[in-house]
Amino acid sequence: MKYLAPLAQVGTFCLVLATSLVAQREIFVPASDVSFKISTERSSYRAGELIILKYKIKNISNGPLYVPREWEATCPASPHLWAWFEDSGGKHFVPGFGGSCVSSAKTMSERMSKEAVLLKPGEHLDGTFRLDTKLFGGLKPGAYRIEAGLSGWTEEKFSDIQRSELAQMGAPYMRGEIPDATSIRLTASAK
């Protein structure tokens, strides 16, 4: 009987250790571990002008994690970064996307080397995104919000084998979505 209490303590210690090791090996972490900000060079553009939207993705967590690259660099089923316009009446102008992808990646490591960027705490990824005001028959002059969303990966879209491969890559992946917005004004185009 005198050996049962120490054995129970050892068992409890092993369970706590195993639980903490599992917690340290999270495959996906919430989007709240990342900040996402968009901006434009100016607050006013001519209708019909191309707008270059700048974005910054920053790791604000205490550990390294993978964030998505801009979708033009990869061939995912859907983009990780997308932006659209909202006019002063609340109407959204969302461009579509399309293309044909032939995935050449054989392993999750190969796929993620093209689709993800590892950021250490405090590091950031900067990039640009093109928004064409000529779409939708040309946006009319007026006030607009540019809204954007950064989408991480969805755990359920990976098989058990794929999740096992991801777990061995040394850092977790962002899941969920982070929105941001900025305001601009379109003026009449020069004729």
Rg of the chain in Å (alpha carbons): 22
CA 85 to CA 2: how far, in whole Å? 72
Residues linked to residue 28 through DSSP beta bridges, in sequence order: 173
Residues linked to residue 55 through DSSP beta bridges, in sequence order: 38, 127
Query: Would you say 62 and 170 are in contact if contact means Cβ atoms under 8 Å apart?
Result: no
pLDDT score at 79: 77
Domains belonging to the chain, first-starting first, are 4-187 (2.60.40.3880)
Whole-prediction pTM:
0.79
pLDDT score at 68: 93
- Counting DSSP H helices and E strands in the chain, the numbers are 3, 12
Q: Where are the beta strands (DSSP E) in the chain?
A: 28-29, 34-40, 44-46, 50-59, 65-68, 81-87, 92-93, 116-119, 124-132, 142-151, 173-174, 177-187
The one-digit pLDDT tens for each residue of the chain (191 residues) are 555 555 555 555 444 443 433 444 699 999 999 999 999 999 999 999 999 999 999 999 999 999 998 754 445 556 788 899 999 999 999 886 555 555 555 788 888 888 899 999 999 999 998 999 998 888 999 999 999 999 999 999 999 999 999 999 999 999 999 999 999 999 997 66
Query: Would you say 168 and 28 are in contact if contact means Cβ atoms under 8 Å apart?
Result: no
